[in-house]
Amino acid sequence: MVYFIGNVLPYITVAIFLGGLAWHLWRWTAPRIPHFVALSPFPKTWAGSVGFIVWQILVFWNILKFDRRLWVGAWPFHVAIGAILGGHVLGIYTLGTQFHMIFPYAITEALSESMSVILGKTFGIIFVAAGAYLLYRRFAYDRVAAVSAPSDYLHMFLLLAIGGLGVYMRFVPAASLHYEEARHFLAGLFLFKPEPLPDNPFFLLHFLLVQILMIIFPFSKLMHPLGMLWNRWVVNRPYEEPAMGLPGVQLVPPAGVMYEDSGRTIRVEHWPRFPVKGV
Amino acid sequence: MGHHGPTPEGFRRIPTWEVAKQPAERPKKPATPKTATKKTLHELGIVEVPDEHKVQAALERLHEQIKQRRSYMLAMESCVKCGLCQENCHTFLGTRDPDDSPVGRADLIRKVWKRYFTVQGRLFGKLVGAEDLTLETIQKWLAYFYHCTECRRCGHVCPFGIDTCEITMLGRQVLYWLGVVPALHADSCAAIHRLGNNMALTKSGAVDTLEFLSDEIEEERGFRVEFPVDKPDSDIVYVPSSADFMLNPDTLKGAALFFEYIGANWTITSRMIEAGNFGYLVDQYRTQRELVTRLLESAKQLGAKKIVWGECGHGWRAAKQYARTMADVNGIWHIPIVHIHDEIASYIVTNQLELDPSRITRPVTLHDPCNYARACGHVENMRIIIRKCVSEFREMYPNGERNFCCGGGSGVLFDDPEMYPMRIRFSQKKAEQIRETGVPDGPDGGILCAPCSICKAQFYPMVEEHELNVEVKGLLDLVGKALVFRGKETSGGKKW
């Protein structure tokens, strides 16, 4: 069983994960965008569009603007996920010396490793706390509970279990796993020369739950980071407006008029383009 | 379910903050609009699918639609149910019915999509929130997709930009093909196919009204403004809303006064006296396409170089963003379509219009129509105009892209006893916003500027029901009033 979880299942998991991902992205990309169905704000250029989307991704702007009580859970939660994923890749690959590699003269290898441990603990706690808060929110708000399916709770339980085990292994020395052991095992998987799982039940469970997460990922709402990109590609795009000014009209616009509004005066040099923004 | 249907003291006085204390519950039977008669459906060329085939037919239509439009597909598969949209939706604020919130409404289709067309739904069913499609669900579609006013506030606030309005459109389109259409929408669509506009206005009727309006302007201002109809070799085709002929004549007058002022060679085309587009709201495949095609054809026939759109929110979106890709006309027939507000605003910032704000002395507040603000980026221009036209302008908050819907958007203007209270309830948030501006408090009340035909049609009864002392006007009404015709006019008319 341990052999299956450690040395066979990972290949099945990755195949389902990548295959499911590819299939879903195809499924999302194949339908057409027959009409221009963009929403506000209406950027003038593609750079503006991309900037807006990046801004939304980085600060969760809409959540911040419209629901602070959701933002205090959602934003730290996702930042922690980003940090933890990055930490796993870098920390395990460089054996905790990632900060030393980035700033070789300022940070020693030992300092880097302890930084890695402290950051891991911090983000782990943020992840679990914010996740628990989001889960509580789903239970506590009857309006949110009314639209939640069992899977909405189960996803969060799964994430919390993974995160909770990670934090536990970080904090309890007896349960912890060294970078070397983890790297040895993972390298074996990546190089198709599977090594046995480290003898640590917490790691076994952590690793198994992550695999379950990866298997359901493409077939669940966990796809939402990608869904957001695909969706915003449809609704946040620039639009070329027709020029203003009516044909065959007897009035001729004077050049460089001074226009005053709300106590400010501006000089209008050209026939304005839509939307008329001067003030 | 005490909060559904009129309460003994009347449905109008339940503030949204009171409603918010009630638990979010689903009513046993949601208010449902009256459906169209067989005769009307026959006129539209559809036959109601018999009950025993409805589910199968609905599934086929859903699958066919969703797999061909990306906005539908993404809305089906990327929602995380965070609930952010719920308290930003005026229907939820008015009723506390979870299915009346964007996420709940979209879930009526999303659950079905999950059940039949996704791996997880077919394997795990209820666990992932998938549900079989039943006749009751289809009945719920009829209720909830016609509670949605397609205001897109949910799309605006959604962190992922999921536009639940698209789902409403999908639901309504599928219902239309099943032959389940509210009488109001079906009658309007039938009138479009029969006579060319929602209000079933004939050409002679329109010309009569316009002559009458010319007389009115002459009486008030002392000079005559003609409304050319079907004038060949016109540079500009103006598309008014058909409701302007009956309900909002000042809006039509305002447009004519503006064109007169700038000396435009303009005309109204009798084939297209409809800025609105009910096809956009129920049937994009036949009626909307018919209207946008007819628009470009008739403008081409009259030799127009530009189409100028009148005051209609959803119609402006339907024309501006769909005409290019939807109309069945030769590509070279596409001529620029602009909104009259944009044009007026650009004439104002180049100081070419003389406007006298002292003619409108009562305080004015502006309701941003949803389709302008969120769907067409049409916010600043209205303010440029209004600030120059009135003595006192007060913003109503939240405004611009964050405004709340009037409660009647997308033709939710039902008069039947079941839906009318809902419609007034949906406007509860709006009434609170208007009250907060203080505009209704003055001795003579104030003016509520709502530059969209559906908003106006909703506000006329709504301000009565919510006891708001405001007069509902369009933006063009104000422009027409404030324009000073030096050497022509004998008076500015009665002060507003």
Pick from A60, A149, A242: CB nearest B336: A242
For residue A223, what is the DSSP state?
A: G
Classify strands A257-261 and B236-239 as parallel, antiparallel or unpaired: unpaired
pLDDT of residue A274: 53
Task: Looking at the complex, report in whole angstroms how far the Cα of residue B224 sits from the nearest Cα belonging to chain A.
Answer: 18
Indicate the residue of B70, B104, B163 with minimum beta-carbon distance to A31.
Answer: B70
Mean pLDDT of chain B: 89
A248 with B84: Cβ contact below 8 A: no
Rg of chain A (C-alpha set)? 26
Contact check, Cβ <8 Å, B236/A38: no
- 3-state SS of chain B is CCCCCCCCCCHHHCCHHHHCCCCCCCCCCCCCCCECCHHHHHHHCCCCCCHHHHHHHHHHHHHHHHCCEHHHHHHHHCCCCCCCCHHHCHHHHHHCCHHHCHHHHHHHHHHHHHHHHCHHHHHHHHHHCCCCCCHHHHHHHHHHHCCCCCCCHHHHHCCCCCCHHHHHHHHHHHHHHHCCCEHHHHHHHHHHHHHCCCCCCCHHHHHHHHHHHHHHHHHHHCCCCCCCECCCCCCEEEECCHHHHHCCHHHHHHHHHHHHHHCCCEEECHHHCCCCCHHHHHCHHHHHHHHHHHHHHHHHHCCCCEEEECCCHHHHHHHHCCHHHHCCCCHHHCCCEEEHHHHHHHHHHCCCCCECHHHCCCCEEECCCHHHHCCCCCCHHHHHHHHHHCCCEECCCCCHHHCCCCCCHHHCCCCCCCCHHHHHHHCHHHHHHHHHHCHHHCCCCEEEECCCHHHHHHHHHHHHHCCCCEEEECHHHHHHHHECCCCCCCCCCCCC
State the greatest distance between any 2 C-alpha atoms of chain A, in Å, as a whole number: 88
How close does chain A come to B190, measured CA to CA in Å?
25
Rg (CA), chain B: 23
Structure confidence at residue A275 (pLDDT): 52
| A151 to chain B: closest CA residue | B128
For A3, what's the count of Cα atoms within 13 Å in the CB-facing half-sphere? 0
Structure tokens belonging to residue A23:
């299939």
Question: How high is the pLDDT of residue A272?
Answer: 62
Task: Let me know: does B440 contact B459? Beta carbons within 8 Å.
Answer: no
Q: Which of B81, B84, B306 sits opposite A63 (nearest CB)?
A: B84
Q: What percent of chain A has pLDDT over 70?
A: 94
In this complex, which of A41, A148, A268 lies closest to B350 when CB atoms are compared?
Answer: A268
Distance of alpha carbon B311 from the chain centroid? 10
Looking at the complex, does the CB of residue B129 fall below 8 Å from at least one CB of chain A? yes
In degrees rounded to 5, what are phi and psi of residue B229? -120, 130
Tokens of A170: 């970080």
**3-state class (DSSP) for residue A88:** helix
List the single best residue of A29, A60, A64, A246 to mutate versus B (max B Cβ within 10 A): A246
Query: Exposed, middle or buried by CB within 10 Å (0-12, 13-18, 19+), for B154?
Result: buried
What pLDDT, in 10s, does the model give residues A41-68?
Answer: 888 889 999 999 999 999 999 999 999 9
CA A111 to chain centre: 29
Whether residues A227 and B306 touch (CB distance < 8 A) is answered with no
Q: Are strands A264-268 and A257-261 parallel, antiparallel or unpaired?
A: antiparallel
Q: Does A33 touch chain B (CB under 8 A)?
A: yes
pLDDT in tens, A64-80: 999 999 999 999 999 99
Cβ contacts (< 8 Å) between B341 and chain A: which residues? none
Cβ <8 Å between B70 and A56: no
Given its phi and psi angles, is residue B335 left (phi above 0), alpha (psi -120 to 50 degrees) or beta? beta
Q: Which residue of B has its CA nearest to A75?
A: B159
Instruction: Work out the pLDDT band at A273, boundaries 50, 70, 90.
Output: low
| pLDDT surpassing 70 at residue A233 | yes
DSSP helix, strand, coil percent of chain A (3-state; round to 5): 65, 5, 30
Both tokens of residue B166?
Answer: 């698209």
Which pLDDT value is given to residue B451?
93
pLDDT in tens, A200-221: 999 999 999 999 999 999 999 9
State how far the Cα of A258 lies from the Cα of B236, in Å rounded to an integer.
28
What's the confidence (pLDDT) of residue A279? 40
Nearest alpha carbon to residue B471 among B480, B462, B482 = B462
Contact residues, A window 231-270, toward B, CB-based 8 Å cutoff: 231-232, 234-236, 239, 242-251, 253-254, 257-259, 261-262, 268
- B224, B228, B233, B235 alpha-carbon torsion, rounded to 10°: 70
What span, in angstroms and rounded, lies between the C-alpha atoms of B154 and B162?
8
The conformation of residue A247, written as its DSSP 8-state character, comes to T
Chain B residues within an 8 Å CB radius of A42: 376-377
Among B294, B219, B213, residue whose Cα is nearest residue B256: B213
Rounded to the nearest 10°, the torsion over CA A144, A149, A151, A152 is: -10
User: Which residues 219-238 in chain A show a CB within 8 A of chain B?
Assistant: 219-221, 223-224, 226-228, 230-232, 234-236
Inter-chain touch B345–A276, beta carbons under 8 Å: yes
Those residues whose C-beta lies under 8 Å from the C-beta of residue B189, and which sit 6 or more positions away, are B44, B181, B278, B279, B282, B283, B287
Phi-psi region of B233 (alpha: psi -120 to 50; beta: other; left: phi over 0): left
- For residue B144 the two structure tokens come to 């909830």
pLDDT of A148 above 70 = yes
From the list A149, A227, A247, which residue is nearest B305 (CB)? A247
Q: What is the pLDDT of residue B5?
A: 44
Place of tokens 């450690």: A6
ipTM over 0.85: yes
Backbone angles phi, psi at A130, to 5 degrees: -65, -40
> Peptide bond preceding A275: is omega within 30 degrees of 0, i.e. cis?
yes
State whether residue B22 sits within 8 Å of chain A by CB.
no
CB within 8 Å: A143 and B96: yes
The edge-to-edge listing of strands for the beta sheet with B470-473 is: B393-394, B364-366, B446-449, B470-473
Secondary structure class of A49 (helix, strand, coil):
helix
Q: Do B127 and A149 touch (CB under 8 A)?
A: yes
Of B263, B342, B374, the CB nearest to A274: B342
Contact A259 B78 (CB under 8 A): no
Residues of chain A in contact with residue B380, where contact means CB-CB under 8 angstroms, are 275-277, 279
Using the predicted structure, report yes or no on whether residue A276 has a pLDDT greater than 80: no
Which residues from B are below 8 Å from A221, CB to CB?
Answer: 78-81
Chain B interface includes A1 (CB < 8 A)? no
Q: CA of B208: how far to CAs of A232, B213, B219, B241, B349, in Å?
A: 48, 9, 17, 16, 35
What is the C-alpha to C-alpha distance for residues B397 and B403, in angstroms, rounded to an integer? Answer: 7
What does pLDDT average to over chain A? 89
- Partner-chain residue, chosen from A29, A141, A231, that has the shortest CB–CB distance to B162: A231
Residue A19 contacts B, CB cutoff 8 Å? no
Ranges under pLDDT 50 in chain B: 1-11
Chain A residue nearest residue B103, CA to CA: A147
**What are residue B30's phi and psi, to 5 degrees?**
-70, 155
Between positions 415 and 474 of B, the ones with CB within 8 A of A are: none
Q: Is residue A247 predicted with pLDDT exceeding 90?
A: no
